[in-house]
Copies of this chain bind each other. A is one copy, B any other.
């Protein structure tokens, strides 16, 4: 019994001794090298099993310079959109054999993004996905010297990095065209905060659809994505005479709008039609169930990992831009214009 009976975890050398081979052969088995006799391989595998050996990935990372860890930087993962995106990213990364380290920022300014990136770089991640829905974040990303392969999600034309995003403009058009097709003279808009690229895209889609139809675009009301801001916008809209159709930039604000209308006795969809954006799980059960534009966050997460892994494993190649189309979901909050 030469073994120290300490509870020290077994290392490669222990396995080697057990199997009667050199530690390098154990390494070869673990890394699926071709030139190992199958009988030897079996013996090593048995020793590994017997000892309950698990390879030390930290030591491995030190020599290979790859940690098989990906970093994710996101803004407020409490929100449904970011949470879903990060979830998709995490699932896809794990499926691709990568660990995921997450930094969830409270405010996503230049310094915040830089700190997060430094932090992840220190940790030794192989690559980074930055969920950068705000202009400032995208800008920061464009400015920063990026040491690692990076993919931006919703990052606009973010500098030299690859981007995966939902086609917000198309979504805005979809919502607006639907309302126009129901015979509404024009469509009002409750937008997200102006420094969000998504908000900007939806506004652009809304405007262009109105323009194509030869309609005047009313002044949009700006919200901050929260139900409360939607509620406030809803109160304003309810007090106006000629509002018959509203496109709200996300479902949470749409909920606030619906609430304000209900309070003011404005009936939806009889008097005013409302379209949201996102298709959160709750939307189907709003009163009335909300017609909305669905974003496939899962696909966005998956694609961002695909792009990143391609960059990681295929060496440096030109940057990509992947656009995920939104989908129109019709429910009961929209109806043909009366009169």
A55 part of interface (Cβ distance < 8 Å): yes
Query: Complex Cα distance A286/B252, Å?
Result: 11
A87 part of interface (Cβ distance < 8 Å): yes
Residue of B nearest to A124 (CB): B58
A180 CB to nearest B CB, Å: 27
A330 part of interface (Cβ distance < 8 Å): no
Residues of B within 8 A of A286 (CB): 255, 259
For the residues of A in contact with B, the DSSP-based class is helix
Residues of B within 8 A of A69 (CB): 101, 123
Residue of B nearest to A226 (CB): B281
Query: Complex Cα distance A294/B142, Å?
Result: 41
A91 part of interface (Cβ distance < 8 Å): yes
Residues of B within 8 A of A91 (CB): 104, 106
Residue of B nearest to A281 (CB): B227
- In the complex, the answer to whether A285 meets B228 with C-beta atoms within 8 Å is yes
Residue of B nearest to A55 (CB): B122
Interface size bucket, A side?
A: 35 or more
Kindly report how many copies of this chain are found in the complex they form together.
2
A57 part of interface (Cβ distance < 8 Å): yes
Residues of B within 8 A of A281 (CB): 226-227, 252
Residues of B within 8 A of A240 (CB): none
Residues of chain A from 243 to 291 with CB closer than 8 A to chain B in the complex:
252, 255-256, 258-259, 262, 281-282, 284-287, 289
Picked from B62, B78, B90, the residue with its CB within 8 Å of the CB of A58 is: B62
Picked from B56, B94, B227, the residue with its CB within 8 Å of the CB of A282 is: B227
- In the complex, the answer to whether A90 meets B104 with C-beta atoms within 8 Å is yes
A281 CB to nearest B CB, Å: 6
Residues of B within 8 A of A188 (CB): none
A61 part of interface (Cβ distance < 8 Å): yes
A222 part of interface (Cβ distance < 8 Å): no
Residues of B within 8 A of A55 (CB): 122
Q: Which 7 A-B pairs have the closest CB atoms?
A: A227-B285, A259-B285, A83-B83, A58-B124, A58-B61, A255-B285, A256-B285
User: Could you pull out 9 A-B pairs where Cβ atoms are within 8 angstroms?
Assistant: A58-B61, A94-B103, A99-B101, A99-B123, A101-B101, A227-B281, A230-B285, A255-B285, A259-B285
User: With contacts A58-B61, A77-B86 known, what are 5 further pairs, Cβ within 8 A?
Assistant: A54-B122, A102-B102, A227-B285, A252-B282, A259-B287
